[in-house]
Every structure is written in structure tokens, then in C-alpha cells.
Amino acid sequence: MTLLQTARDFWAQRTSRERLMLQGLAIVLGALLFWYGVLTPLNTARAWARDERLAAAADLAAVKTLARAGTTRAAQPDGRGLAGVVDTAAAASGITIERRREEGDGRLTVWITAVQPRILMQWIDGLRTTHGVSVVGLTADKADDRSLTVEVSFERAGS
């Protein structure tokens, strides 16, 4: 005897009142599975996405604030070139520069393959406030592990 035939026999042996009760139970179980198996995970995912969006908006506001705060302290005369200052500050911040290109107009462009947004902003702010180095261009793409792939162009303030 197959499982399907066993189920049919079981159903046939039930009275109409028992069948009605089992149908009601099936409806309640289906509703519970839908609620806890579909709606609750979707609501959790929606709340997580909202929190991530708010965190990203806060990061964007911080970046815009840094961009608007164009004032810099006077550059510390240390005799190093722009590349030396950027490299030293990157190493101190734990940032690995993958590639760099020095432009003829005194600009330096660097490529970083993986950096956390907060570390990047602290590094850029430190360069601006301590060494008088300005960001003249920045392109960032999100990597898989919540880090960024970044291309940044720098120049000395007043250049």
C-alpha cells in the first residue's frame, strides 16, 4: 500500500466533523507557516536594509561635511614630496596602496583595492589637516566584504 493510498484511507475513515476540524487545523498551520516562514523574515530583511541605508546616509553626510570643510591647516614643511607624505600616512593608517601615478601638474593618483570607509575618511582628513594635502578627485566602488575599491587624486594645498 502506498503512502497516498494510506492517506486516502485515513481520510475516508474520518467523520465529517473530524474532517472539518482537520481542515481548520491545516488552515491555521498554513497561516502560521506563512507568517513565521515568509512575513517575519521579510520584515527582518526590510529593517536590516533600512538600517544599512541610514548608515550609508550618515557616511555620505560625513563625506559631504569633509568635502565642504575646505579649510586646511598650513602644510607641515617636512621636505618630503606628495608621494612620500601620502605613502607614509597610508602605511600609518593601515592602508595598502596598490598603484600610484604622479601627474606632471603636481597631482598624485593612488588606487586602493580594499579599505573600510571610515578608515579611508580618517586617512583623507588626516592628510588634509596635518599635511595640507587636498583631494581633487575620488571614485569609490563597493567591494563584496563591506570595503571599498578607491581611486583618489591628491594635490598639495595651494598648488
Give me the pLDDT at residue 77, please: 47
**pLDDT tens track for 70-122:** 544 444 445 578 888 999 999 999 999 999 999 888 899 999 988 999 999 99
Helix (H, G, I), strand (E, B) or coil at 112: strand
Q: How far is CA 113 from CA 83, 86, 126, 127, 146, in A?
A: 18, 16, 20, 19, 12
Q: pLDDT category, 50, cuts 50, 70, 90?
A: very high
Give me the residue label for grid cell 575620488.
138
Give me the pLDDT at residue 78, please: 55
